[in-house]
Structure 1
Amino acid sequence: MSKENKGKAAEERSEGGPETEDIPKCCGCRFPLLVAVLQLLLGVAVTVVAFLMAAISPSLLARETPHWAGIILCVVSVLGFLLFGVTYLPDEKTSMQFLAKVFYFLLCTVGLVLSVLITAFAGHHYNQASSFTCAEKGGDCLCTLEPDDPIARTFTYAGVADCQEVTGTLTVYFLLQMVLNLAQALVCTLGAFIMWKHRYQVFFAGLQLGAIPSGQNWRKV
């Protein structure tokens, strides 16, 4: 090692760490803005598709038109943007930062569970609606899975003059809900994982003064 390098190393040890320009300053080190944007877009898309489905017939149940899941994801996204704007301090030294992280992690977990359930429901209803045999009666659409069975269960869609809206348009909406909620589940999983990783793994934590020898370099935890 040259004298010049030895002098620099000694200077760094005397200051207790490397130069401040080596500290990561990217926005992604605080919070990945892309995740919050994706959550907002997916939440709006799920809500819009759900309201379009509800406009087909008032007989559709809440589990068939999951606008509430999209609204919840929009709330998660807003909390993500709030978390991005909170002044960062190591080890959650501000109560707002800590509470925002906890609520964001919990809401991402709830969003994940809801998205998986909605994907399952949408898949079931898509398979069911694709097999319907429907007939118009008195301004309503009466559908059944087994038209030859006189005691088979009948599904009534009130206010539907054209049964093609049930067997065609509605099945497309169910398929869209499956795709959107699957993407929503993946994004919520990513958001929860990033919060966990941010707290416990490789995000920059800085020098722990007094906890390590003065000659030890900074590290990531």
Structure 2
Amino acid sequence: MAETTVDEVLAELAALADPKVRRVNEKHGDDHGVNLTQLRALAKRLKTQQDLSRRLWQTGDSAARLLALLICRPKAFDRDELDAMLRAARTPKVHDWLVNYVVKKHPQAEDLRLAWTADPDPVVASAGWALTTERVAKQPAGLDLAALLDVIEEELKDAPDRLQWAMNHCLAQIGIEHAEHRARAIDIGERLQVLADYPTPPNCTSPFAPVWITEMVRRQDTK
């Protein structure tokens, strides 16, 4: 399918769109109606096509952008291009996939992490915090975890939703991965009570940091 056109892909995405899926997604701030398993199957069939990926992104359609992120070559984008893409990715799923599937694999991810974390746009800043959480878990050397906890303690309570969620994830990850900071991370969570009342389905772990930290550490200890 090397010669697949944007119009052909958009037509296929339109055929896959399901109003029920769209209604569910809209509750989470997303605006596409394509089942993600079907989207991944389409991406697998198309394989990596950087030029097509860029053209799909330019359509502005959320399903097309999700597909674009699955068939791109992350290192083919330059830093400024990724920055512009993030600022254009206003729906949560497109934003998350861009950060997780593309930016995290990019050689300038650290530069973007630092720039985005300090950005006045809370949605952009949330991407910086997501990259920080990745480093907390996988490459903590060089991070000042105590300073990160200082910022979280000061700003988490009043942060806008998307930024609050990303900062809370970082708080939990610090507590889970770094025993020397665990007591303080749990204490911050207990005092701030962010997401304490978040509705959590059965058999799922609450995003409330003290519960999240305690449960994940328990699982690690029982392995």
TM over 0.5: no
Tell me the TM-score normalized by structure 1: 0.22
Q: Radius of gyration: which is bigger?
A: 1
Higher helix share: 2
Higher relative contact order (CA 8 A, sep 6+): 1
Instruction: Give 1 or 2: higher strand fraction.
Output: 1
TM-score (normalised: structure 2)? 0.22
